[in-house]
Amino acid sequence: MTATNEFGHLDTPLETSNSPALKFEVFAKCSTTKARASKMHLPHYTAHTPIFMPVGTMGSIKGITTKQLEALDCHIILGNTYHLGSRPGPELLEKAGGLHKFMAWNRGLLTDSGGFQMVSLLKLANITEEGVEFENPHDGQKMMLTPEMSIGLQNAIGADIMMQLDDVVSSLTTGPRVEEAMWRSVRWLDRSIKAHKRPTEQNLFPIVQGGLDIELRTKSAQELVKRDSPGYAIGGLSGGEAKGSFWRMVSLSTDILPTNKPRYCMGVGYAEDLVVCSALGVDMYDCVFPTRTARFGNALVRTGSMPLKQGRYSADLEPIDKDCDCSTCANYTRAYLHTTATKETTGCHLITIHNIAFQMRLMLDIRKAIVEDRYPAFIREFMRTRFGKTVPMWIVDALKSVNVDLTVPDSSGYMAEPVADDFQKVPNAWAEPN
């Protein structure tokens, strides 16, 4: 099964890479920025990039069936190795023929290594050269996750793309610990490659580390490129660092990583981040934000986030977004969603459908703009709708680095005034869909 063709007359790729379980074809490049539109042929599906991948921790996205995800045109979803390894467990998954068959999903799957959960969610005991030693939350016993164990679990899960186990440190960490983690991650990558038993059926992506240190991140990317992997991830970001540092590390990484292979920026999901990072040359993204914020009654729109639980929507008979073609917007009003949001599972389900549809539509629009070589104009219109006249400084600086200067008026007279805030505090109310 392949995705609907979005590339029109573009039959010949500009760049190609062939790995045993992944073929990557770049069909269009923005003539101004580093953005590109590509096809990524995986064992179970051909995904179009730039792509956003919803997160299904336990092999499912809360309240959404796999058929609904197909209808929303999701090309790849994420599974969490730690949680899937605990339940249902590798033995049952192998018996079922892998996670694809177990969850009735015939498109792309990506699994993380499980290492992030060891650090962020569990009581960490110790990180050694052998692996990550942690305390089991169920019985309090000490457990060890090694690169070999992580790959073994992911081989049993059977995802199209697997991530190496890396030594995860906070993006706010400085000093010798960052360099230690970077080099250890390289060594763990080599152990992961050696342990990988299904290289013709699954792809192993290494992860660029190095914190916010230019020299370390450069060295990390250079070392990973030597391994000639099917694709590469940019990790260790989106952890609370200043956005000015975030975009510089992303751009530095894409400058070094091969142009004919996919680049995956981990943990990124805000709409403005997707638009900016695509301009910086990123192809793949994931984040829990769109589905998690739905459970708090927040619907995503091009102007920001619509907090449907607020009283101002109690009698509003408009859909979330009249231009959205999802089933939620086709059938339900803001007033109904206000009544059910955060109180009934129905409301969470309906807003989740909309938020995933929002992300999918945004990525489709990004790809179309790249294919038609009008991405700079798309960026300007997006930022105008999103922020109005005041745009966060980091966005202005990031886009200026790829030749899109929002401070210079366009043909409509629009120009942005940079402001210090990293994030949008309130939606751009004047442009809110009605």
Q: Which residue has the tokens 């990180």?
A: 127
Per the residue annotation, which of 112, 166, 273, 283 is the catalytic one?
A: 112
CA atoms within 13 A on the CB side of 91: 1
Cα separation, 282 vs 51, whole angstroms: 9
Give counts: helices (H), strands (E), the chain: 16, 20
Looking at the DSSP bridge assignments, the partners of residue 286 are 53
Per the residue annotation, which of 160, 273, 283, 286 is the catalytic one?
A: 286
Sheet holding 36-41, edge to edge: 15-19, 22-29, 36-41, 46-49
CA dihedral 376, 381, 386, 391 (to 10 degrees): 60
Number of C-beta neighbours around residue 55 at 10 A: 20
Catalytic (active site) residue 213 = no
Number of C-beta neighbours around residue 176 at 10 A: 7
Q: How far is CA 128 from CA 133, 167, 317, in A?
A: 8, 9, 57
Q: How many residues does the chain have?
A: 434
Contact 16, 26 (CB under 8 A): yes
Residue 247 one-letter amino acid: W
Cα separation, 98 vs 85, whole angstroms: 12
Cα separation, 57 vs 81, whole angstroms: 8
Q: Which residue has the tokens 């999918």?
A: 360
Q: DSSP E strands: which ranges in 210-262?
A: 232-234
Catalytic (active site) residue 112 = yes
Active-site residues, by number, are 112, 286
